[in-house]
Amino acid sequence: MNLRDIHTPVFLDRCVELLAPALERDSAVLVDATEGMGGHSEALLERFANVHLIGLDRDTDALRIAGERLAPFGDRVALVHTVYDGIADAVASTGRDRADGILFDLGVSSLQLDEADRGFAYAQDAPLDMRMDQTAGTTAADILATYGEGDLRRIFERYGEEKLAGRYARAILQARLTQPITRSGQLVDILIAATPAAVQRERSGHPAKRVFQALRIEVNGELAALERALPAALDLLPVGGRIVVLSYQSLEDRLVKRAFADAVASTAPAGLPVELPEHAPRFRLLVRGAEQASDDEKARNPRATPVRLRALERIREAA
C-alpha cells in the first residue's frame, strides 16, 4: 500500500511554511496532535533533520500505519496512543516539557472515512461504530439505541446544526421500536424517509450528513476534548513556538477562533491608561482570520474544501 496514493495531507506546504521558523531550532520538538497516517509528520521530519516528533492519535490503526511510514526516522519519532487533550502528559512521557511546533489536523481522518466497516461514511453501509479509538467507548449504534428523543435532538442541533433535529429524533425512536438501528444504511433510509421532498430538493448536501457528523462528535467527545486540548497546547509553546490548527467544520473552528482570540488579547483591566508588560498579549496571529484552501488545492484534494487554517506564535512568556 502506497500511502502517498491514498492520502494527500491537507495544506501541507502551508503547514511546513508556518511551522518552519519554530522547527529550525536545534533539537526542536514537533507535536502532531492528530497523527493520522503520518503525512504531515513525514514531510516535516524530512524537511527539518533536527526535529524530534511526538505523534498522538486515539486510533490504534492510524498509529500502526504511521509507525510503519515513519520508521525510517528511527528514534526521532515517539508515537503515543492518546486523545489530543492528553498532549501535556504525552510530551512529559518523552522526558520533555515543551513543544516548539504543534499541529492539529482535526476531524475524521482519511483512514476512518475510507474504511467502510468503521461506519463514519453515510455513503457506505456498515456497522454504526464511529469510534476513533475502537478499543473503548460507546458506539453510534449504542447512542441510537439508548438516547431519548430530547437527547438525540440536542446532539443533532448542537453538533450537526440540523434544522430537522426533532423530526429526525422522532423518526429514529419510531424505527427502533421495530428493530435495532445497527447499520449506517438503516439510518440513512430512516433519515431520507423523514426528510420532506421539498427539503431534499432545496438542500445541496445529503440528508444524513449533519446527523452523521453529530453522532461522530458525540461518540468521540471531540469538542470537549478540543476545548481542553487548545489551552494545554498553548502552555507547551516557548517564545517563538508556533501552533497550526486545521478545522473542517464550523463548531471546531469557533472553538479555535475563541481560544486564539483569548491568547492574543491584552489582559489589562478596562480603563487602564497604560498597558503594563505583564498584561501584554502572550501570542500573535500568524494569519488574518482563517485561511482557506486555494482552488488548485481543492481540485487536487477535495477533502481540503471545507478546511479553515488558523495559526499563532508565542511572543511572551506567561506572567
Q: DSSP labels for 21-85?
A: HHHTSTT-EEEETT-TTSHHHHHHHHH-TT-EEEEEES-HHHHHHHHHHHGGGGGGEEEEES-GG
DSSP sequence for 134-166 = TTSS--HHHHHHH--HHHHHHHHHHHH--TTHH
Q: Confirm whether residue 57 is marked as ligand binding.
A: yes
CATH dotted code for 3-105+222-314: 3.40.50.150
CB-side exposure of 299: number of CA atoms within 13 Å? 3
Domain with CATH 1.10.150.170 in the chain: 118-220
Architecture of domain 118-220: Orthogonal Bundle (1.10)
Q: Does 36 show up as a binding residue in the annotation?
A: no
Distance CA 190, CA 168 (A): 8
Does the annotation list 32 as a binding residue? Answer: no
Cα 285 → chain centroid: 20
Q: Cα–Cα distance between 37 and 58 in angstroms, integer? A: 12
112 annotated as ligand-binding:
yes
How many helices (H) and strands (E) are present in the chain, helices listed first? 15, 7
Q: Digits of tens for pLDDT over the chain (319 positions)? A: 444 445 678 899 999 999 999 999 999 999 999 999 999 999 999 999 999 999 999 999 899 999 999 999 999 999 999 999 999 999 999 999 999 999 999 977 655 555 555 556 777 888 999 998 888 889 999 999 999 999 999 999 999 999 999 999 999 999 999 999 999 999 999 999 999 988 777 777 788 889 999 999 999 999 999 999 999 999 999 999 999 999 999 999 999 999 999 999 876 666 566 666 666 889 999 999 899 988 888 888 888 889 999 999 999 887 6
This model's pTM is above 0.85: yes
For CATH 3.40.50.150, list the domain ranges present in the chain.
3-105+222-314
> If we measure between CA atoms, which residue out of 57, 122, 48, 54 comes closest to residue 85?
57
